[in-house]
Amino acid sequence: MVEAARKRDAGALAAICERLYPRIYRYLSYKVNDLRDAEDLAGEVFVRMLEAIPGQTGSLEAWLFRIAGNVLTDHYRKRAVRSGEVELTEEIPGGNDPGAVVERKLDGERLKQGLRELTEEQKEVVILRFIMGYEHGEVAEIMGRSAGAVRALQFRALSALKGALGGRI
């Protein structure tokens, strides 16, 4: 499918977009405050993909996440803002019990506050590993680092997050 997409096959390109857009959008929605911005940025990722896919090599998904990182950088440069906000957009399982809903909301707010205390790289590894569910090797490929470097970064990020949350993780 990737080879057909490199040759600009419309069906292959559409299949790639259909399969990977939700993951790219979800990733971006954790990195920006406004879900409309996340939609716009995800669209920009796929526009850039269309322009550059003939020269793409390696893992397509990792390549798209690198493009998403570049799109985010451009987004923040244009706005001259480095807010670092993380928007928790998904409903956390647990039913409709009002007490549970309030507790989840508080936990989400604590997590957002804790993530604000991390460096950009630390936030990146926490989001990719624990929110997006990628394995160390996949995160390493997305971030352009070795798996060992990702593990070390993850350790430092979790230590910093634990400190920011008062030891509660």
Instruction: Judge if 16 and 58 occupy the same domain.
Output: yes
Question: What is the structure's pLDDT at 108?
Answer: 66
Question: What is the structure's pLDDT at 101?
Answer: 52
Question: What is the structure's pLDDT at 124?
Answer: 86
Instruction: Judge if 41 and 104 occupy the same domain.
Output: no
Question: What is the structure's pLDDT at 102?
Answer: 53
Question: What is the structure's pLDDT at 74?
Answer: 84
Question: What is the structure's pLDDT at 98?
Answer: 57
Q: What is the CATH number of the domain that holds 117?
A: 1.10.10.10
For the full predicted model, state whether its pTM sits above 0.85. Answer: no
Q: What is the CATH number of the domain that holds 62?
A: 1.10.1740.10
- Domain around 119: 98-164
> Which residues are CB-neighbours of 27 under 8 A, at least 6 positions away?
65, 68, 127, 128, 132
Split into its structural domains, the chain has a count of 2
Contacts of 151-160 with CB under 8 Å at 24 or more apart are 153/121, 153/122, 153/125, 154/125, 154/126, 154/129, 156/122, 157/118, 157/121, 157/122, 157/123, 157/125, 157/126, 158/126, 160/117, 160/118, 160/122
Per the CB < 8 A criterion, the answer to whether 24 and 42 are in contact is: yes
**Per-residue exposure over 130-165, b if at least 16 CB sit within 10 Å of its own CB, e if not:** ebbebebebbbbbbebeeebbbebbeebbebbeebb
115 inside domain: yes
Please state the φ and ψ torsions of residue 58, each to the nearest 5 degrees.
80, -160
16 inside domain: yes
Question: What is the structure's pLDDT at 165?
Answer: 80
92 inside domain: no
Q: What angle do CA 34, 36, 42 make, to 5 degrees?
A: 105
137 inside domain: yes
Instruction: Judge if 116 and 74 occupy the same domain.
Output: no
Instruction: Judge if 102 and 57 occupy the same domain.
Output: no
Instruction: Judge if 158 and 105 occupy the same domain.
Output: yes
Per-residue pLDDT tens listing for the chain (169 residues): 888 888 888 898 999 999 999 999 998 988 887 889 899 999 999 999 989 998 888 889 999 999 998 898 888 777 643 444 444 444 444 455 555 555 555 566 777 778 888 888 888 888 888 888 888 888 888 888 898 899 999 999 888 888 888 766 5
57 inside domain: yes
C-alpha–C-alpha distance, residues 82 and 12, integer Å: 36
